[in-house]
Chain A
């Protein structure tokens, strides 16, 4: 088992390396002079020259990459062109709101999606199954920002039940915090629920047709016990995989959702950085989110090896 864990851990390194290489290349292979891009639209020629020197742009590309990588590994992502604040500091300020939104979405999605999937599988081809299938298809087709505006229109503008937009940190009280995050999390969770419900349904259908289910039924195990002990346990691996892969979608969705609901998170930071062409900030955000995605999926893989002795790398 240790050997497998070590192999898997080493597998993370090249992936992270290529992400870093890509992020580096964005700036250096883009049309135009990187110093001009980094200096921003308002910079004077002297400022551009200073940036060129500071970045060592007159050195070879390889040594520039090594220098940059070394700085990134020590946690130095550079400084924002616009606000002159270190990128790590900017991200750290905005991260709590984004993580709160993502965590709420994740918990809500998983608690709703798995029972829906199981319900559809146990009533295969019934009305409930059809409704679940229709719901998942529809959820895959409604863009998160469209759903967001729809929900705000119904629950905030028309019914006045929840705040329209904005954000309250956890320090303002948990009730206030959640009331601001409820609609964003709901719109963000729609696709996620569809994804997890679909895979739960498919794997559950497969599990229920296995011989050990028939054996369990034959020896008189109760229906509930068959479902939750025998079948659900065996569907957990693919379901957990999809939950992990969905994190990438969750990150993409959060960027857009924060814009709809005016939540001051990393997503808003990204959008502001794009508008100002603040390349160091964009590089930092892409690196940070990709690292988060890789780390979470790595943890899930480690979990597999521990849970299921059949899994090999």
Chain B
């Protein structure tokens, strides 16, 4: 049996390259999503050098100007440059998305491992996550934002709290599964300390599902930030975020639809890019979803 399956595979020397080619041809989403995401990260980092002007600079005499040589995508109702605001908006969205993904990954893993490991703590943590999950995400964030002074940090904390239960559950599930496995018992029998077991045996096993989940959380966080800003419970209005741009354009959008279309397209493309990468990585790792193989 083993020999047959080995023979049908490519020789080891070319295995690496052919596998990469297969991944790239079977998962075009990974390339498209990765490319678009890279472009946005580039725009966010190098925003000041991409032909932008101060995104907050007011120019009342140039209100609602159509696209021109100086303002590539026109100006909004306060004369601010739409192109510059959209490019700077990438900074807000990406930093919120990445911060929330990192925060939830770190705290979710720590709490999830505790929950899976410490038997008496598990029911307490699970009831708290049940409670948090029962509150719809946007309402949870709105409730938190309503009693804090609006700031990006508050937005990040509010969104992280609403996404945290999912990560805790995911990690706890993995820990519960692997602690029944023989290698885990062997590690205990060999006298490994709990910290060593976590580092050597638990973390490597949670890393893959965690990174897939983190991409989805990043996308969800970007959407939630935009939605919160749109309804006036998110990033402070002075800061050029895509949600704020759409909220600002709300009264004028029937005359100037591009004021909403520009940030809307940036927002959608960003979320789409991250979701494409997340989906591809999940499909790649999950044999149930794998394409073109039997």
Residues of A that sit less than 8 Å from B by CB: 14-19, 21-23, 26-27, 30-32, 37, 125, 137-138, 140-146, 149-150, 153, 157, 164, 248-249, 251-252, 255-256, 259, 270-271, 273-275, 277, 279, 282-283, 285-286, 289-290, 293-294
Contacts and interface: CB of A to CB of B under 8 A. Distances in A.
A141 B139 contact: no
B232 interface: yes
A43 to B, nearest CB: 16
Contacts of B137: 248-249, 252
A275 B232 contact: yes
A252 B53 CA distance: 36
B279 A19 contact: no
Interface string B37-63: 000000000000000000000000000
Contacts of A259: 230-231
B136 A282 contact: no
A248 B136 contact: yes
Given A30-B148, A141-B271, 12 more contacts: A18-B128, A18-B132, A32-B147, A140-B219, A140-B275, A141-B272, A146-B264, A150-B264, A248-B134, A248-B137, A256-B231, A290-B135
18 contacts: A14-B130, A17-B131, A18-B132, A19-B135, A22-B132, A143-B226, A143-B227, A143-B271, A146-B267, A146-B268, A149-B246, A164-B254, A248-B136, A251-B139, A271-B233, A274-B233, A286-B143, A293-B136
B276 interface: yes
Nearest to B264: A146
A126 B134 CA distance: 38
Contact of A274 (B132, B232, B275): B232
B142 A14 contact: no
A275 B231 CA distance: 9
Contacts of A19: 131, 134-135
A282 B233 CA distance: 12
Nearest to B279: A137
A273 B257 CA distance: 28
A37 B136 contact: no
Contacts of B271: 140-143
A145 B147 contact: no
Chain A interface main SS type = helix
| 9 A-B pairs with the lowest CB-CB distances in the bound complex, closest first | A18-B131, A30-B147, A252-B138, A141-B272, A146-B264, A251-B136, A141-B271, A274-B233, A252-B136
Contacts of A146: 246, 260, 264, 267-268
Interface of B: 29, 127-128, 130-140, 142-149, 219, 223, 226-227, 230-233, 246, 253-254, 257, 260, 264, 267-268, 271-272, 275-276, 279, 291
A22 B139 CA distance: 12
Contacts of A286: 135, 139-140, 142-143
Given A252-B139, A255-B231, A18 B275 contact: no
Contacts of A140: 219, 271, 275
Contact of A145 (B140, B142, B246, B291): B246
Nearest to A22: B131
Nearest to A32: B147
A40 to B, nearest CB: 12
Nearest to A275: B232
Contacts of A293: 134-136
Contact of A137 (B135, B232, B275): B275
Chain A CB within 10 Å — which of B136, B137, B142 has the most?
A: B136
B275 A271 contact: no
B136 A279 contact: no
A15 B139 contact: no
Contacts of B260: 146, 149
Contact of B257 (A15, A18, A153): A153
A279 B138 contact: no
Contacts of A23: 143
A26 B134 CA distance: 16
B36 to A, nearest CB: 11
A251 B148 CA distance: 23
A52 B271 CA distance: 45
Chain A CB within 10 Å — which of B128, B130, B143, B264 has the most?
A: B143
Contact of A21 (B131, B147, B267): B131
B64 to A, nearest CB: 18
B48 to A, nearest CB: 27
Contacts of A21: 131
Given A125-B291, A271-B231, A18 B127 contact: yes
A193 to B, nearest CB: 16
B11 to A, nearest CB: 28
